[in-house]
Chain A
Amino acid sequence: MSRATIVIVEDDFLIAEDLRGMCEEFGASVLGMAHAADEAFAVIEKAKPQYVLMDVRLGGKRDGVDIAQQVYDAMPETKLIFITGSNEPPTIERIKQDHPFRILIKPISPRELSEAITS
């Protein structure tokens, strides 16, 4: 199997770095990272990854679900893995309308992530 390619969208730099470490640990290739909603789509469009790890809360007016919609419209083949801090029904419902490939609830373990990407 070729190496999975990934873009990480996460507003917290440390957590983004942790995610990058996790991905690299099981042999995925992180093509880019975005830390704000405004730059996320540009990074994803440029890198054209197989997977996007999308944090739902991005600390701005638009959140991960909005970006994901944009990504799906432009590149429907991209697999969107949502990472959310809450499993509240309204959030999950919104994500589900966005063609998610997987939804991971924080805290996520390396194993969960690897299972999501290599499955």
Chain B
Amino acid sequence: MKRSNTGTVDRSSDISAWSRRMSLVVAAVSAAVLVLGWGAGIDFLRRIRPDFAAMVPSTTICFMLLSAGVFMQTRMDGRLVQTICAILAGAIAAVDLVVRVASNRGGIDDFFVSSLPSGDGMAFATAACVILASYSLGALAWSNSSNPRAFQWPATLGLLAAMVALVGYAFDTRALYGVFVFTAMALHTALLFLLLFIGLLLVAPRQTWIGILIGSEPGSLGARRLFPLVALAPVALCFVALQLTDAGIFNANFRLSVLAIAMTALASGAVLRNGYLENRADRSRARLMRDLESTSAERALLLKELYHRVKNNLQQINAMLRIEARKVDDPHLSTAFQSISDRIAALGVVHQLLISAPTPSEVEVEAFLTDLCRGLAASHGLERRDIALEIEADPGRAHIEVAISMGLLVNELVTNSIKHAFGDGPGTIVVRYEERPDCLALSVSDDGAGGAWTIDSGGTGSLIIRSMVSQLKADLQTWDRDGMYVEVTMPRDINQLDRYE
């Protein structure tokens, strides 16, 4: 992904360079027409052929202004210059139009060029194109994030108008001059408009339809292949049809039938090709999705397998401990073995639950505490001793590491209560998990004698409790009132902390 992005960025800046080159060509040619054509009187520069329309001075000035504007746009800092260029060019074209309509003269050039042949002047189409270019340039200069593409429409419209003029020259110049609006648009005016509008579109190609052509996605690839055909074939077809008609092989109306069918075939071909490409892209996308899904499923399976192995290993460690413990007669040592065995079992419960957990590294707190306490109750024979171990948990999940720490904590706290609170009598121990607005609270309370335990007792159990409280970034509070009450409050976001950075 990254690489292709960089690639298109590079291509964009290459394209902007083309935009600059085109504006320089437009400026140079129009300056030459003004200075050498009108100034030095070289007629070829004014009208290419004696029977063609001329590019009048006002048009050359408009071109110079507009190309300067395009050039400034690619420099990023020329917004003001550019706006002035656009306004001036637009104003010249607008005034020319008004003068032509209001008076019967050949536009504003009539006022400045004494030797202007009658019929010469800025064509309506030329004036319209200048106005479109000015508007596009202005839109580009003041484009904002809400509508960054606005400039492309006038530029595209102008491009099409210039192309109509050019194709008209190629097919039948007289026919072109017969159309009122195009009368007197010079050949090189049309060419310069072509360059100017392409240059305009290339200033920010990503914001125009050109972006589709230069992109790296499959759609762009297909469009690049099809576009030249679709763009050029109709012109070529029409040209051939025209030649055939002129040669007397077709008559004008039959030519229309042939053209209609040819265009239909061309457009249908393009549509079908597009459909084919889209189908192919969709198939490859579907294949990719399947691969991804199966990879993801394999990962999940692997993770469950891993949890299973960890759980089995913990059970094996436990088995070895108990096998060893049976060989010792010292009750003190037996108790120590029992404690270690319980702690390992507490670790095992987390992995046991993770095997069937819907999310790969989280366990349901209530199920977790229930399984943990069931193990403790079995291990210490609580049923026989008439000690109830109750769970009250808010619904919620805990990350594997949080669950492990909580499990070791609860294991120690409950074991403490079992050992110290009740003597030989019955009692109740409550393990509570609450998701409060400001924290997560885990508490263990009993209704026993109390006072039998402090956090600073120096035993392994106390060490584990202190370690787990720190690990959970938690605070621990104890109350000794009608039994022991120990509460551990963890930060609310403890399950969201990044652990694998």
Contacts and interface: CB of A to CB of B under 8 A. Distances in A.
Interface of A: 12, 14-15, 17-18, 21-22, 25, 85-88, 105-109, 111-112
B356 interface: yes
B345 interface: yes
A35 to B, nearest CB: 14
A109 B311 CA distance: 17
A13 to B, nearest CB: 9
Interface in B312-346: 312, 315-316, 318-320, 322-323, 326, 345
Contact of A86 (B322, B348, B352): B352
Given A12-B316, A107-B348, A111-B381, A22 B322 contact: yes
Contacts of A17: 319, 323
Contacts of B320: 14, 18
A106 B315 contact: yes
B311 A85 contact: yes
A63 B278 CA distance: 50
> What's the interface size class on B, roughly?
20 to 34
B326 A15 contact: no
A12 B381 CA distance: 25
B497 interface: no
B322 A111 contact: no
Contacts of A106: 315, 352
A21 B319 CA distance: 10
B323 A107 contact: no
A21 B322 contact: yes
A14 B352 CA distance: 18
A112 B379 CA distance: 8
Binding site secondary structure of chain B: helix
A56 B316 CA distance: 17
B323 A21 contact: yes
B378 A108 contact: yes
Contact of B378 (A12, A22, A25, A111): A111
Residue among B311, B319, B348, B380 with max Cβ neighbours from chain A (10 Å): B319
A12 B374 CA distance: 23
A112 B378 CA distance: 7
A38 B149 CA distance: 73
A12 B315 CA distance: 10
Contacts of A87: 371
Contacts of A111: 378, 381, 384
A73 to B, nearest CB: 30
B315 A15 contact: yes
B321 to A, nearest CB: 9
A85 B319 contact: no
A107 B381 CA distance: 13
B356 A18 contact: no
Contacts of B348: 107
Residue among A12, A21, A108 with max Cβ neighbours from chain B (10 Å): A21
**Lowest 8 CB-CB distances: which A-B pairs, in order?**
A18-B319, A14-B319, A109-B378, A14-B316, A107-B345, A111-B381, A109-B379, A15-B319
A61 B320 CA distance: 27
A48 B348 CA distance: 34
A111 B378 CA distance: 8
Contacts of A107: 315, 318, 345, 348, 375, 378-379
Contacts of B323: 14, 17-18, 21
A13 B149 CA distance: 73
B199 to A, nearest CB: 70
Given A17-B319, A107-B348, 12 more contacts: A12-B312, A18-B320, A18-B322, A18-B323, A21-B326, A86-B352, A87-B371, A106-B315, A107-B318, A107-B345, A109-B379, A109-B381
A15 B381 contact: no
B423 to A, nearest CB: 19
Contacts of A105: 374
Contacts of B378: 107-109, 111-112
A88 B312 CA distance: 18
B315 A25 contact: no
A14 B313 CA distance: 10
25 contacts: A12-B316, A12-B319, A14-B319, A14-B320, A14-B323, A15-B315, A15-B319, A18-B319, A21-B322, A21-B323, A21-B326, A25-B326, A85-B311, A85-B352, A86-B352, A86-B355, A86-B356, A87-B371, A106-B352, A107-B315, A107-B318, A107-B348, A107-B378, A108-B378, A111-B381
A14 B380 CA distance: 22
A25 B329 CA distance: 13
A86 B307 CA distance: 13
